[in-house]
Structure 1
Amino acid sequence: MKTILAALTAVVLGLTLSGPAQAHPRPDPLPVRGADVSSLAKSEAFGGVYRDQHGHQRDALRILAKAGLTYIRLKVWVDPADGYNDKTHVLAVARRAKAAGLKLLVDFHYSDSWADPGKQNKPAAWAALPYEQLKQAVYRHTHDVLNALRRQGTTADMVQIGNELNGGLLWPDGRYDNWPGMAGLLNAGYDAVKAVSSRTRVVLHLANGGDNGLYRWWFDNAAANGIRYDVIGVSYYPFWHGTLDAFQANINDVATRYGKPLIIAETAYPFTTADKDGWENIILSPEPYPGYPATPAGQTAFLGKMNEIIRAVPNNLGLGMFYWEATWTGVPGNGWDPTDPASGNGWENQALFDFDDRSLPAMRELGEGR
């Protein structure tokens, strides 16, 4: 009788006779667990330091790797005014990253400064080039940086041809109203990538990750104009780019519609509303997206939700995400404007290191708890 009662109790309580029921195992981590660290070299040059969760000063890249990250992302400018985010610095950080066991995504802006949906300015050295020579410049610049990476043993694993290409690149030659021109420039970059390493995957990256109309318009035109690529890249910031539901619907649709794997090339979330460097933060709301406060716990929960959404993309086409500017802490001198040494950083409240330079819990969530 006691044996029967024990068995019934076990059924009711969800227990086995030998002990408690096992919790569902955590899903396998997404393959791409990355962080953009483009600001890191300049931060370190101006005295920036990074500490692990226990407060011990370490190489930032090794802190990221130990938290479970698998990739870094580095942008490349052609001739930046401050001398950072150029070929030399990309090569140096890539060596450190590969030594730490991290893979590499290289993000070509094809500009001397920021390229995004609102501006796609040509580098000064390319400004007067006729179109055919402009294509050659794209090829040569792309090949030069990537071949230098290959020669030092740090071949890029993924490469973005352009950054946030909603309106094209290298305006006006590759603008949204000149799809043949845009196609020629993007394919020149693609060809350069494959000439260096056929295994490196080419990413085409748009912003506004909740806007399905934009993505269908853009990638339908890309298909019609023979633009070649391997991976779809998406920027999604929940305080700018629509609801999480709209984001989920969009990435599910575009991955399956175009049959391509997909990464979140950029996302971020604040862990505080406070300011460290005296330069006003871009995001000031105590709850930038409903249900996710601007706290360490809110930042962590947001990245957990992002992992859940990406993992739900059909056919395992959701590869993972890159957290944007994880190491851009409030270091004087490491401002946003390469032409203005006095500029500050409006992003330090969205880094993955707190104002004491210690890694935040969200970093480990990004690494999926490993």
Structure 2
Amino acid sequence: MNRIDRRTLLKAAGAGAGALASSALLPAGPASAATFVKGADVSWLPQMEAKGYTFYDAGGVQRDLLTILKGYGINAIRLRTWVNPSSDPSNGHCSIEETAAMATRCKSAGLPVDIDFHFGDTWNSAGVQNPPAAWAGMSYSQMLEAMYNYVYHSMNVIKAGGVTPGWVQIGNETNGGICHPVGSLSRPAQMTGLLGAAYDMVKEVFPSTPVLVHLAQPQNLDGIYGFLDAYRGNGGRWDITGLSSYASGTNIPPILSNMAAIQSRYGKPVMQVEFGGRYDRADRTRADLQAFITGLKGFGGLGLFYWEPEVYSPFNSYAMGAWDPATRRPTTALNGFLNA
């Protein structure tokens, strides 16, 4: 590893890092330091466009999706990336090269991006954390080297496209760790080492970009605390705690209370990086979106990303998009961004 002395990185990994001030955790530019992030994950967009899907605004005028989203106050985009994905439209693509191209497009539209590493070849989530196939037989030391190289390369691909990410997530819903079994929560030192390698390489290429750890199910505080206590206890570093919640109605207030508790316990601002609601209950989803944004603002949360609002049938079976397949116009769900 010739880009930086490994001993320096490992020393830094054990030393910890001071929490950034909240104002430093939001990107400069269209989403300024004082701006609450209203975002959308649109990682399926290139595949939808390749298949001929088009998008119309509320008035029936065909426009670029990013332009339509900005009309609802959306000021940031989240993009996932996989290591060696297949060509499947729903479960593949999103290589770092494709993600970088999309990030450049977002920059041209005036939208900062959150890069979401899954550290797999396809979906990783709270219940599934499979390593990339190329890493599956590796020892911990080999996987650590692979992580350093992969994240360092990925960040430089993004940089070559002229983009400085607004945020980077090191893992997706990592409640049980990453790259099982080597980096599982049951092996907290190895889990922290792998995530620390990712953190270091993000910061080496983009020193001022905030790094998130991302956890699901904030309704289960014991599970969140179990991960974060183990991670912090082994020297883990992060700047923002990212959380997923698709809660609705009366389930939202207690989850917001938990989010505030997580922020207070660890001294890291919270960002809700995934939200969604049923397409066939758009008014309910609009109200839920508004409730989450209002609640997050109330305790100083940084923002919220709607997960894949652009999806409409028959692209795939995802039922939480915010687009009408008959008119190809947005549903009322997105008005929650304007009302909050």
TM over 0.5: yes
Q: What does residue 220 of structure 2 align with?
A: 211
In the alignment, which of 290, 295, 309 is matched to residue 309 of structure 1? 295
Q: What does residue 351 of structure 1 align with?
A: 321
Are 2:309 and 1:326 aligned? yes
- How far 1:148 moved relative to its partner? 1.4
| 8 Å contact from structure 1 (residues 210, 242) kept in 2 | no
| 8 Å contact from structure 2 (residues 77, 114) kept in 1 | yes
Q: What does residue 47 of structure 1 align with?
A: 52
Are 2:337 and 1:366 aligned? yes
The one-character-per-residue Cα deviations of 1:276-331 (angstroms, maximum 9, x if unpaired) are xxxxxxxxxxxxxxxxxx2x322211111111111122xx2x01101111122224
In the alignment, which of 149, 153, 160 is matched to residue 140 of structure 1? 149
- How far 1:70 moved relative to its partner? 1.0
| Distance in 2 separating the partners of 1:310 and 1:346 | 30
| Distance in 1 separating the partners of 2:273 and 2:75 | 14
- How far 1:30 moved relative to its partner? 5.2
Deviates more, 1:199-208 or 1:245-254: 245-254
1 or 2, which has the higher helix percentage?
Answer: 2
| Distance in 2 separating the partners of 1:136 and 1:179 | 18
The one-character-per-residue Cα deviations of 1:71-118 (angstroms, maximum 9, x if unpaired) are 111110111111511112112211111111111000000101110111
| 8 Å contact from structure 2 (residues 256, 292) kept in 1 | no
SS in structure 2 of the partner of residue 323 of structure 1: strand
For 1:354, the aligned partner's letter is D
| Distance in 2 separating the partners of 1:330 and 1:209 | 30
Q: What does residue 279 of structure 1 align with?
A: none
Q: What does residue 335 of structure 1 align with?
A: none
| 8 Å contact from structure 2 (residues 44, 308) kept in 1 | yes
SS in structure 2 of the partner of residue 266 of structure 1: strand
| 8 Å contact from structure 1 (residues 143, 192) kept in 2 | yes
Are 2:65 and 1:65 aligned? no
Map 1:1-370; keep pairs closer than 5 Å: 31-82=36-87, 84-238=93-247, 243-272=251-280, 294=281, 296-313=282-299, 316=300, 318-332=301-315, 345-347=316-318, 349-355=319-325, 356-368=327-339
The count of corresponding residues between Structure 1 and Structure 2 is: 303
- How far 1:353 moved relative to its partner? 1.5
| 8 Å contact from structure 1 (residues 32, 320) kept in 2 | yes
| Distance in 2 separating the partners of 1:167 and 1:195 | 26
| 8 Å contact from structure 1 (residues 36, 322) kept in 2 | yes
- How far 1:245 moved relative to its partner? 2.7
SS in structure 1 of the partner of residue 172 of structure 2: coil
| Distance in 1 separating the partners of 2:128 and 2:237 | 23
| Distance in 2 separating the partners of 1:221 and 1:242 | 31
Residues 364 and 210 (structure 1), Cα distance of their counterparts in 2 relative to 1, 3 Å cut = same
Q: What does residue 277 of structure 1 align with?
A: none
User: Cα RMSD between the aligned structures?
Assistant: 1.9
Q: Percent identity?
A: 35
| Distance in 2 separating the partners of 1:242 and 1:166 | 24
| Distance in 2 separating the partners of 1:351 and 1:125 | 33
For 2:298, the aligned partner's letter is A
SS in structure 2 of the partner of residue 49 of structure 1: coil
Residues 214 and 123 (structure 1), Cα distance of their counterparts in 2 relative to 1, 3 Å cut = same
Q: What does residue 24 of structure 1 align with?
A: none
- Structure with higher Rg: it is 1
| 8 Å contact from structure 2 (residues 139, 182) kept in 1 | no
| Distance in 2 separating the partners of 1:183 and 1:151 | 29
| 8 Å contact from structure 2 (residues 39, 304) kept in 1 | yes
- How far 1:235 moved relative to its partner? 0.6
- How far 1:149 moved relative to its partner? 1.3
Name structure 2 gaps, 5 residues minimum.
1-33
Structure 1: 4+ residue segments shifted above 6 A:
none
For 1:298, the aligned partner's letter is R
| Distance in 2 separating the partners of 1:301 and 1:361 | 10
| 8 Å contact from structure 2 (residues 119, 131) kept in 1 | yes
SS in structure 2 of the partner of residue 263 of structure 1: strand
| Distance in 2 separating the partners of 1:67 and 1:197 | 29
Q: What does residue 7 of structure 1 align with?
A: none
Name structure 1 gaps, 5 residues minimum.
1-28, 273-293, 333-344
| Distance in 2 separating the partners of 1:154 and 1:50 | 25
Q: TM-score, normalised by structure 2?
A: 0.85
Deviates more, 1:219-228 or 1:160-169: 219-228
| 8 Å contact from structure 1 (residues 47, 331) kept in 2 | no
| 8 Å contact from structure 2 (residues 167, 211) kept in 1 | yes
